[in-house]
Structure 1
């Protein structure tokens, strides 16, 4: 057994939705005692750090019901069944921003909330962008406002709380580290 591994004894599915499922697992702890774990399962997502030729970062603003407010984020979305990570990244970038990326590089994958969810988000850097005259239609229940801003302005928005999510904070810090001369 691996360090700290918990053996699942029983799983009860409480909810199966369009995006997530909720399970309660009865587990046996490493010391042999029983416990319960509430687990959200998610198919995973991609997020895109899109940088224009002039060094601006492409961001989207959208209302997030769970937070009851609009926040500004890097483009991102759920991976569809059978879809490759790269195709998902290109699709989401096009749907949310109207940009096509001619270069796409994997940056990092990480767990978003490992204390209760299995979601992994895969972050890509998109460059050599082309603004499409007729972008792909996005989800009918998704309303986004496009922003193209300097790293400096995006970091200020993060300090001001307009940028409020971990994937975007990670992305901005990554750009700041990898491209220290970007303003």
Structure 2
């Protein structure tokens, strides 16, 4: 069976700063019709940065859709013509003050493919140098550096409660186990 859905009509409902929303009329593989609501997003990056003291560099910030603050790895939206790697370097510096001597891509993944096309490019930062954060004027961020044990506690308390950061914690466990 072929799993392709053919779009027969597309209506853009909303165009925003972060996402666009459209409704697609589609023909299903069996010939029936249906509708799909699709959120379009330019994509994002996230950065796994571990200090020489084996602390994971994270930030705490308020997340309006959840009405609570979360502890997360540094991340941000792709903008303009910047590559994912350039965006990763910029977001790490802006949110934490750290610069990386080198960035290496770990993986890319879709966040919610049932209704959104957002893809996150995950990078690991090497040769960190501390500096001053350069947050945007509407960003209120607290820099936090946590051990793996502290990260596990934050996950249990649902203060770390997003997939990219949970993925990052598991990744750090894997790389530290190999050392």
Matches within 5 A, 1:62-81: 62-81=61-80
Distance in 2 between residues matched to 1:143 and 1:130, nearest whole Å: 22
Deviation at 1:151, TM superposition (A): 1.2
SS at match of 2:95: helix
CA separation in 1, counterparts of 2:178 and 2:4? 44
* Whole-Å separation in 2 of the counterparts to 1:23 and 1:139: 29
1:42 corresponds in structure 2 to: 41
Superposed CA deviations along residues 103-155 of structure 1, whole A, max 9, x for unmatched, are: 211001000000000000000001210012x44x3221111001011111111
1:8 alignment partner in structure 2: 7
SS at match of 2:66: coil
Give the equivalent residue in structure 1 for 2:141. Answer: 144
- TM-score normalised to structure 2 length: 0.96
Q: What residue ranges of structure 2 are gaps of 5+ in the alignment?
A: none
2:171 equivalent in structure 1: 174
TM-score normalised over the length of structure 1:
0.94
**1:87 maps to what in 2?**
86
Residue of structure 1 equivalent to 2:162 = 165
Q: Measure the CA separation in 2 of the matches of 1:123 and 1:181.
A: 20
Other-structure match for 1:29: 28
Pick from 147, 150, 154 the counterpart of residue 151 of structure 2: 154
4+ runs of 1 displaced by more than 3 Å?
A: none
CA RMSD of aligned residues (A): 1.3
Q: Which residue of 1 aligns with 2:113?
A: 114
